[in-house]
A and B are shown apart, each in its own frame.
Chain A
Amino acid sequence: METIQEIYLTNPATKKDWQRFLTSQGLANFSDQELAAIDKTFAIYDDQDQMVGTGSIAGQTLKYLAVAAAGTSKGARFNRLVSTLETTLSQDGIFHLFVFTKLQYEQSFIHVGFTTLAKTNAGLILEKGLPNVASFLAALPQKPASAKQVAAVVLNANPFTKGHRYLVETAAQKNDFVYVFVVEEDQSLFTTEERLRLVQEGTSDLVNVVVATGGPYMVSSLSFPAYFLKDDSQRVSYQTRLDATLFKEQIAKPLGITSRYVGTEPLSQTTNQYNQALQEVLPPEVQVELIPRMKESAENQQVISARTVRKAIQTGQIQDVTDILPATSLSFIEKYLTDLQARIKKGQKIDGN
């Protein structure tokens, strides 16, 4: 009789056995970054106490899933593992999960109730459970039936600057309706709630613009983890294509989005790579409008960047950045300056995104 149990990778012997098994199954990325994300790990052992299957949970994502083909049915072990991981997540109140995997395993996951969100040559991402992408779309404000040209802008807006405002305004002038999606991931100096509020306040005069968070589907730690962590460029290239494909298939298509507006990116290599991936993946169904970044002033040809604002918050020299902030963002920063500075002191990074 095969048994399934939770195993603890803090035990060096267990961890070694687990890595040996995964390596034999062709999984070999044991970077500290990946391992640190694991919350729980389960393993199946056969009669001889040999590991014949394992799977882990990291947040709401299934990871390091592998089953040996020898002995009983491979499918039975796979189903048992996925089921155990899912039940464990449900006990923590998580009913919505994701998995990244290789193309050859797509059918195995579909067979246990997953649906494919995005697929590229290098791999795919699937989700299962509720709320899912359909409920995410249903909760968004509806565009008027007359809207034909529909644009989307995805912003982290950490915080919302006149540069962001210029991008949204340009999209609003040239389109009937604009969706502004604020990155939901709460890893930035300004919290998701604050970023969302500042974008809403800073665009409230634009009548054909709605603001919402992008859920786990746009530039999230799920669809595009490298945006938040330094990573090698091959992985960035894979993730950016996956994120772009997800946007095209699951967001743009059902919402009738015809173009996506992005700012040119002279400063961040990762974001630049992301823009390239969008240009490769989205057309012809969705046009990519690359808008030159707004400059700080006629004398100062530096492009407006939220990073400049974050640096000014750190040093307390807000007077240097008043010109590049909308009044709504500026008054928020002035009001909460000491709080924001305290977050930086506590270790919040301000160099990345």
Chain B
Amino acid sequence: MEIKKTALAGTLESSDVQIMVSQGTNGLEFDLVSDVAKQFGEQIQATIEDVFAAYDIHNAVIKVVDQGALDPVIKSRAITVCQRALDQVDQPRWEVL
């Protein structure tokens, strides 16, 4: 699936994660800012990229600012940002959940 427009989901508040997605041409270009990037960076990236795979998105620029979010939070923010970026907010894809 092609990214239709740049999208943002989540906030910068404690225990949340903010994800911005934009069109890309070079696979999933992942960028993470997090105080726990050293310990959990790979896990955060895997959680988000799994969601992108479920939406069949293979090219995107993904910018993530994490404030210590837990996995389910990361996953739900990733789902939201994908729906927004694909311009499909009115067609929730329950199977991804």
List residues of A whose CB falls within 8 A of some B CB: 76, 79-80, 82-84, 86-87, 90, 93, 95, 110-113, 129-131
B residues less than 8 Å from A90 (CB atoms): 7-8
On whether A86 and B8 interact (CB within 8 A), knowing A95-B20, A129-B20, the answer reads: yes
B32 to A, closest residue via Cβ? A113
Complex Cα distance, B33 from A93, in Å, reads 23
Complex Cα distance, B60 from A101, in Å, reads 31
B residues less than 8 Å from A129 (CB atoms): 20, 63
Q: Does B18 count as interface, using CB distance less than 8 angstroms?
A: yes
Complex Cα distance, B90 from A18, in Å, reads 39
A residues less than 8 Å from B67 (CB atoms): 79
Inter-chain residue pair count (beta carbon < 8 A)? 48
Q: Does B86 count as interface, using CB distance less than 8 angstroms?
A: no
Complex Cα distance, B11 from A155, in Å, reads 40
Q: Does B12 count as interface, using CB distance less than 8 angstroms?
A: yes
B64 to A, closest residue via Cβ? A113
A130 and B12 contacting across the interface, CB-CB below 8 Å: no
A residues less than 8 Å from B18 (CB atoms): 83, 86, 113
On whether A130 and B13 interact (CB within 8 A), knowing A87-B8, A111-B33, the answer reads: no
Q: Does B6 count as interface, using CB distance less than 8 angstroms?
A: yes
B13 to chain A, nearest CB (A): 6
On whether A130 and B33 interact (CB within 8 A), knowing A76-B13, A86-B8, the answer reads: no
Interface CB pairs A-B, < 8 A, 29: A79-B11, A79-B12, A79-B14, A80-B11, A80-B13, A82-B12, A83-B12, A83-B18, A84-B11, A86-B8, A87-B11, A90-B8, A93-B5, A93-B6, A95-B6, A95-B20, A111-B33, A111-B35, A112-B33, A112-B65, A113-B18, A113-B33, A113-B65, A129-B20, A129-B63, A130-B6, A130-B22, A130-B61, A131-B22
